[in-house]
Amino acid sequence: MQALLALTLALLALSAAAAPIDVAPAGLYHHLDAAGRRNLALAGDQVALTWEDSRSGGPRCYLGLKLRNETNFREFPLGQGECFDPAVASLDGDRFLLAWEDETGINAAIADAAGPGPALHLGAGAHASVAATPALGAWVAWNAPAGRWQRVWHAALHGAEGRLSADPALPADPVPVLDDQSFPALAAAETGVWLVWEDRRHGHTVIYASLSHDGKTWNTPQRVSHNPTGKAQGNLGRGTGAMRPVATPVGGRFAAAWLDKRDFLSGYDVYAALSEGAGFAKDEKAQDSFGDAISQWHVAAAGNRRGDLVIAWDDDRDGSSDIWFTRRTASGYSDNFTLPETSGPARQTDPIIALDDAGNLHLAWIERAPDSDSSGPTRLRYMVWPLPRH
């Protein structure tokens, strides 16, 4: 019954879905790889999308901007030289906050309808994430070498007349680092700011998080994922892995999602947890049983003020890679569903999603031809799907 309901809801909205568009020239190699999958953001009537492509012969970063009622994005290049993992978040009603890695290290900037402003250089590092809320401010997080290990850092940002400045960078965890920390993801709302990341302090990768209620002081980091620590099945290693966390505000709470290998024989599964007070409630598997025997990839999450929560990823349960969705309901996560535009013989991967307060799901993804391997040229696609009410 739940599967039928999910399918019915999807079909009801198809007639109102905007047709997908190609964001950038086709036949290139496109990437949507920002930490926390923070490549898509909404501010007022504007939509911003960031990506990398190969049109110049190497990886370069781009920002696309458009009004919601416009069809095509206007493009703006980002960074110096080779550029990776550009991220974007809404800064206020008509501006965006950007971060990326290029040959100079981590950089951040403010963008408005005219494009990006001057870049603020933050030093060496990779995997930048950004978040902002008018009530508490703006932040950037990244990981950078700290002796033997990678360590996650964050800094508060301040903007004046289109230029950014930053407070001194602080470690996500003030205690001495014991192993690698990486792939931070930020999420911000009026109720606080969450920073989540991959952490190997237990000898295998788990998800940790820290909360700031006021945007200034941060709580002691705590573990979010409950993949087992200790010897894994078959006496393999110190525990199973969890990776690539994402985070989003939803209603008055926050949600975190990630890829989790606690059932290591079937590969990575999609797990998620909702915030509860100063921590997170018990994590849950977000995919349905039809995806249990195969691996899931590229998990993304989006919420809005009215309490909608959508999680997306790609897997090949139907024989070719498609993008799948689940919604949070009063009884848990819905059975998984896909859309005609994000499924079929072509290979659909790397979903990026954002939800506006009216319940419109903005979606970007990468598409390859059916007979193309993972190194084949791609199309970067975008569409809007009105999310049916429960």
Nearest alpha-carbon partner for 83 in 128, 140, 117, 38? 128
Report the distance separating Cα 229 and Cα 28, nearest Å. Answer: 42
What does the mean pLDDT of the chain come to? 92
Instruction: At 46, list the tokens.
Output: 């504007």
Segments in 252-335 forming alpha helices (H) = none
What is residue 98's predicted lDDT score, i.e. its pLDDT? 98
Contact 143, 151 (CB under 8 A): yes
Superfamily for 31-171? Glycosyl hydrolase domain; family 43 (2.115.10.20)
DSSP state, residue 49: E
Nearest alpha-carbon partner for 198 in 228, 221, 175? 221
Nearest alpha-carbon partner for 217 in 278, 303, 151? 278
- The pTM assigned to this predicted structure is 0.94
Report the distance separating Cα 366 and Cα 385, nearest Å. Answer: 17
What is residue 231's predicted lDDT score, i.e. its pLDDT? 65
Q: With H, G, I as helix, E, B as strand and everything else as coil, classify residue 183.
A: strand
pLDDT top residue among 364 and 228: 364
- Residue 274: phi and psi, rounded to 5, are -100, 145
Report the distance separating Cα 2 and Cα 317, nearest Å. Answer: 19
Residue range 95-133, pLDDT digits in tens: 999 999 999 999 999 999 999 999 999 999 999 999 999
Report the distance separating Cα 154 and Cα 122, nearest Å. Answer: 10
User: How many CB atoms sit inside 10 A of residue 111's CB?
Assistant: 24
What is residue 40's predicted lDDT score, i.e. its pLDDT? 98
User: How many CB atoms sit inside 10 A of residue 126's CB?
Assistant: 17
Task: Give the contacts of 200 (CB within 8 A, at least 6 positions apart).
Answer: 178, 179, 180, 181, 206
Q: What is the mean pLDDT of residues 206-217?
A: 96
pLDDT band of residue 278 (cuts 50, 70, 90) is confident
